[in-house]
């Protein structure tokens, strides 16, 4: 069970360029209702009393953070991101003073619609395997051949789509990412690095509106979801 005193540090990778978004700037700096996507995302985390600090990894040459007043507050710390999302997360983890005693919540900068109830349910998990928010697959899932024909239909009942936040002990995640780098294993989320080390992170069913803004059409959807939660 979660104790009220358990505190969490959030690491937010925000060093991507948003190539699929095809906007004039990285998607975390696009505006929804007068605020950047990044500000919406950080607000969802800052609103939770158990989140004591947020480490945001931004690209080394990124001109935007210096212009954004909301980043200048005691709970937010900036660090330099890397060439991949996993490297950006790792750089964030390196800013944590005592990882053995810290639980870390990794959350994409591009997911501004995180819901408080989902976050609460994730934070209830107190297990060194860790836990992630995810949604069960709703569409029928096909595996393709190289010629893009259907090879077979997968059993959907056991398939989940991973979201963030993802919750782990900071020292275990840091070690897992290090091992993934050494083995040349490409990790698209934190859980996959932990899986590589033999951990079995818990799947916490989240809401489908916790979308990652990825393609141009996603911005209007995020705007709609955020307008309902105001």
Binding mask 171-200 for Mg ion (x = CB under 5 A): ------------------------------
10, 55, 57, 105: residue in contact with ligand CTP (rule CB under 6 A): 57
Q: Are 85 and 41 in contact (CB under 8 A)?
A: no
Q: What does the block give as tokens for 199?
A: 């951990």
Closest to ligand CTP by CB, 83 vs 97, is 83
CA–CA separation, 188 and 13 (whole Å): 12
Q: Taking contact as CB under 5 A, which single stretch among the options 8-16, 30-38, 72-80, 156-164 is the one that binds Mg ion? A: 8-16
Closest to Mg ion by CB, 41 vs 102, is 41
Binding mask 199-218 for ligand CTP (x = CB under 6 A): -------------x-x----
Q: How far is the CB of 28 from ligand CTP (least distance, A)?
A: 6
Helix 170-182, helix 85-93: angle, nearest 10: 140
Q: Are 25 and 119 in contact (CB under 8 A)?
A: no
Does residue 39 bind ligand CTP (CB under 6 A)?
no
Query: What are the residues facing 14 on neighbouring strands?
Result: 58
CA–CA separation, 17 and 23 (whole Å): 10
Q: How far is the CB of 131 from ligand CTP (least distance, A)?
A: 19
Does residue 109 bind ligand CTP (CB under 6 A)?
yes
Give the count of residues interacting with ligand CTP (CB under 6 A).
Answer: 23
CA distances from 78 to 28, 42, 72, 73, 144 (A): 15, 12, 9, 11, 41
Residues within the interface to Mg ion (CB under 5 A) = 16
């Amino acid at each position: 069970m979660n104790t009220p005193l358990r505190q969490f540090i959030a690491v937010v990778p925000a060093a991507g360029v948003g190539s699929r978004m095809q906007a004039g700037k990285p998607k975390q700096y696009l505006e929804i209702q007068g605020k950047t996507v990044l500000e919406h995302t950080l607000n969802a985390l800052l609103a939770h009393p158990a989140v004591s600090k947020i480490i945001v990894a931004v690209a080394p040459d990124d001109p935007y953070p210096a212009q954004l007043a909301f980043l200048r507050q005691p709970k937010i710390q900036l660090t330099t991101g890397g060439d991949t999302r996993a490297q950006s997360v790792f750089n964030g983890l390196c800013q944590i003073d005592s990882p053995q005693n810290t639980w870390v919540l990794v959350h994409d900068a591009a997911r501004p619609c995180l819901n408080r109830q989902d976050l609460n349910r994730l934070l209830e998990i107190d297990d060194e395997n860790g836990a992630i928010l995810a949604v069960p697959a709703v569409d029928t899932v096909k595996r393709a051949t190289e010629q893009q024909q259907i090879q077979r239909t997968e059993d959907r009942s056991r398939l989940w789509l991973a979201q963030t936040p993802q919750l782990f002990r900071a020292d275990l995640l840091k070690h897992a990412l290090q091992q993934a780098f050494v083995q040349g294993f490409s990790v698209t989320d934190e859980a996959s690095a932990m899986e590589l080390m033999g951990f079995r992170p818990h799947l916490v069913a989240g809401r489908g509106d916790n979308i990652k803004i990825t393609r141009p059409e996603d911005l209007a959807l995020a705007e709609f979801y955020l307008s309902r939660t105001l």
